[in-house]
Amino acid sequence: MKKILALTLSYFVINSCIAQSSSKNHPLEKLGQAYITAHNTTDTLQFRQWMANTNLDAATQARKIQGFKNGCRMVGPVQPVHSQSLSDSSIQLLVKDNQFDAWWKIRIYTNSNGAFKDRTLQPHRFSTELIQKGKLTKEEFQVQLDNYLSQKLQPFSGEILITKGEETFYHKKIGNTTAYGLASLSKIFAATVILQLRDQGKLSLEDSLSKHLPFIINPAIRPITIHQLLTHSSGLGDFFEQPEYHQLKSMLKTDVDFLPVLEADQLKFTPGTQWQYSNNGFAWLGILISTITKQPYEEYLRQAIFNPAQMNHTNVQNGSGGGVSTVEDLNKFATALRTQKLLSKNSNTELLTYTFNDEYGLGSEHAQIGKEQVVGHSGGFEKVCTELNIYLQSGYHVIILSDVDPPFAHFLSNKIKELLIRDYSP
């Protein structure tokens, strides 16, 4: 499902830049330091001085300064953690806010004369350069995470389960909810079923949609491949942003109901050439699964995934996302993947390790953090913020389900990565 905040969506923006070390005396580094000072003071005069020598007119400068100040109010004061020179005219600053202990990515761009041109501010997932030294004991981990929940994420309502093998490493429930919404986390179920159908010889990932869905009318959609849908490289968009969706949304329950909306979609780019998160693409996968199996999507998922994994409290109606589950059920799903209970060895490995762009694979999100590989999926919608993280090297499963708006469960997932993924060298 669509992320409720544009900032949450930007968690998945792909960074193709090559990081280089920045010298503290480099002009871009000084510009970055000056921006942090202005951000932390929210001083209009300092922002104006920071933008000195720019070619922007006064009205544009005023709009940008207001945008900077809005960002300051949202994020609050920050502490610089790491800087990277992206090019001769751009720098990236990784900062940590004081309010939520969350990381943010600030990129500053200059013109050919070294004067300010633009600035972007996005949440940043925990990454290799943020790893700290010193392994925590289980007790130290629990104390630090408890403190984070009580001091930084109040009020938070949800449930956190961390397991390692058969051991429950951490479990905390805040609030009275039992079964939580999943939002886009359930896209990984659609991907799993598609790979199952491939294992059964019923499709190839290189098949076009029209091969299995000949009724598709839109000529731009017919040649899109299943692989392009799974990897969000189809060029398809997001039904939440289409007027047809808002005209029909009261009647939209299953993926098939979405057909008039999906047929009205227009490609954003040539399929296979770029990446853009697409709810429409996974709605087509839901229709594809129902058509091939000749069963409603909801029923087939129960037969193919939920019953074999003994997930008795999970229900999902749509390929694009949604549904409900529990932390215990999602831990069973993670275990079923890790033990190859649902897929062939090759398909299981592909789901857990293949990436299209280092960050997204076949209906799965990926992160290489130091020596650790984390795979799973997250979700966000109104009063839903979720994370499923499978730590392939260390064996942890981290499940966060909540009934709060994004991005707070994502912040919590980052904090858990910070505490679990450590540098053990002296």
Question: DSSP assignment of 10-28, as one string?
Answer: GGG----PPPB---TTSHH
The torsion region of residue 235 among left (phi > 0), alpha (psi -120 to 50) and beta comes to: left
Q: pLDDT tens, 350-383? A: 999 999 999 999 999 999 999 999 999 999 999 9
Q: pLDDT tens, 257-267? A: 889 999 999 99
d(CA 5, CA 123): 11
Contacts of 318 by beta carbon, 8 Å cutoff, 6+ apart: 186, 254, 255, 283, 286, 297
* β partners of residue 376: 365, 389
Amino acid at 113: N
The torsion region of residue 174 among left (phi > 0), alpha (psi -120 to 50) and beta comes to: beta
d(CA 424, CA 137): 12
Residues across the chain = 426
Question: What would the two tokens of residue 157 be?
Answer: 């309502």
pLDDT values of the chain reduced to their tens digit, one per residue, 426 residues: 443 333 333 333 323 332 334 445 578 888 888 889 989 988 888 888 888 777 788 898 889 889 888 888 889 999 999 999 999 999 999 999 999 999 999 999 988 888 888 889 999 999 999 999 999 999 999 999 999 999 999 889 999 999 999 999 999 999 999 899 999 999 999 999 999 999 999 999 999 999 999 999 999 999 999 999 999 999 999 998 888 888 887 787 788 888 999 999 999 999 999 999 999 999 999 999 999 999 999 999 999 999 999 999 999 999 999 999 999 999 999 999 999 999 999 999 999 999 999 999 999 999 999 999 999 999 999 999 999 999 999 999 999 999 999 999 999 999 999 999 999 877
Amino acid at 38: A
Q: pLDDT tens, 5-44? A: 333 333 333 233 323 344 455 788 888 888 899 899 888 8
User: How do beta strands 365-369 and 324-325 pair?
Assistant: unpaired
d(CA 389, CA 378): 8
Contact yes or no for 54/113 (Cβ under 8 A): no
The class level of CATH for 180-423 reads alpha beta
Count other Cβ atoms within 10 Å, centred on residue 219. Answer: 8
Distance between start and end Cα atoms, the chain = 44
d(CA 70, CA 77): 12
The domains of the chain are located at 6-124, 180-423
Count other Cβ atoms within 10 Å, centred on residue 61. Answer: 15
Q: Is the peptide bond before 214 cis (omega within 30 degrees of 0)?
A: no
pTM greater than the 0.85 cutoff: yes
Fold of 6-124: Nuclear Transport Factor 2; Chain: A, (3.10.450)
Contact yes or no for 70/49 (Cβ under 8 A): no
Handedness of CA 11, 17, 23, 25 (dihedral sign): negative
Is 309 in a helix, a strand, or coil? coil
Q: What percent of the chain has pLDDT over 90?
A: 74
